[in-house]
Amino acid sequence: MRHTIFLFLACLATTLAFTTTLPPTFAHRPTPTTTLFASDSDKEGGAAIAKPKVGVETKQTTRQRQKSAQKQKAKSSEPVSRRDEDFQDAPMFKVMLIGDESYDQAHVVERLCEIMDDMDENQAAIVYRQAQQGGKAMCGKYPLEHAEMYKEQLVRSDPLIYSDVEDENK
């Protein structure tokens, strides 16, 4: 019995939830209506959009462009360069390997080949021998930033490899 009552109340609640009629407390109250368009008897307009009393006249004038004679420049055989292409090469610096009797030739040659991309084992061995005989030898010429980077990488090797950066014109 309870089940039937419960089912009835659920159906009643569902039906009331989806009905469009309002309870008497919320009954529809009439609202005053306004006319949106002016009637023929209402000449002044009222609430509707009124026509302007003043007439507006628009004039449209068009002008034709006259062709003007253009001056022609004499054509030259070579194009005119608008930029001066005076590029200066970056100053070059020498990376110098400083000779030391404590160096191991295999280690120095290996590190020179790893750090400097443009050097092979034969060139590295020649640079090592020149540094040992003359006190220092040139590994290559590079822009300042590259030369300083190569020097730092050589100095950070373990065991230490002494190197220096010199100006190309020295």
Looking at mean pLDDT, say which of 19-28, 66-75, 76-85, 141-150 comes out highest.
141-150
| Predicted pLDDT of residue 121 | 94
Q: What is the pLDDT of residue 33?
A: 59
Dist CA 99 CA 96 (whole Å): 9
Confirm whether pTM is higher than 0.75. Answer: no
Q: What is the pLDDT of residues 29-70, one digit of tens each?
A: 566 555 555 555 555 555 667 666 777 677 777 777 766 666
Task: Give the separation between CA 164 and CA 100, rounded to whole angstroms.
Answer: 13
3-class DSSP state for residue 97? Answer: strand
Helices (H) and strands (E) in the chain, counts: 4, 3
| Choice between 160 and 41, residue whose per-residue pLDDT is larger | 160
pLDDT (0 to 100) of residue 46: 56
How high is the pLDDT of residue 41? 58
Beta strands in the chain (DSSP E): 92-98, 136-143, 163-167
Residue scoring higher pLDDT (26 or 16): 16
Find the helix or strand (DSSP H, E) in which 129 lies.
Answer: helix 121-134
Phi, psi of 112 (to 5 degrees): -60, -40
- Report the pLDDT averaged over residues 116-132: 94
pLDDT at residue 28 tops 60: no
Whether the pLDDT of residue 159 is over 70: the answer is yes
Amino acid symbol at 140 = G
pLDDT per residue over 59-118, tens digit each? 777 777 766 666 666 566 666 666 667 778 889 999 999 999 999 999 999 999 999 989
Q: Please, what's the largest Cα pairwise distance for the chain?
A: 121
pLDDT band per the 50, 70, 90 thresholds, residue 128: very high
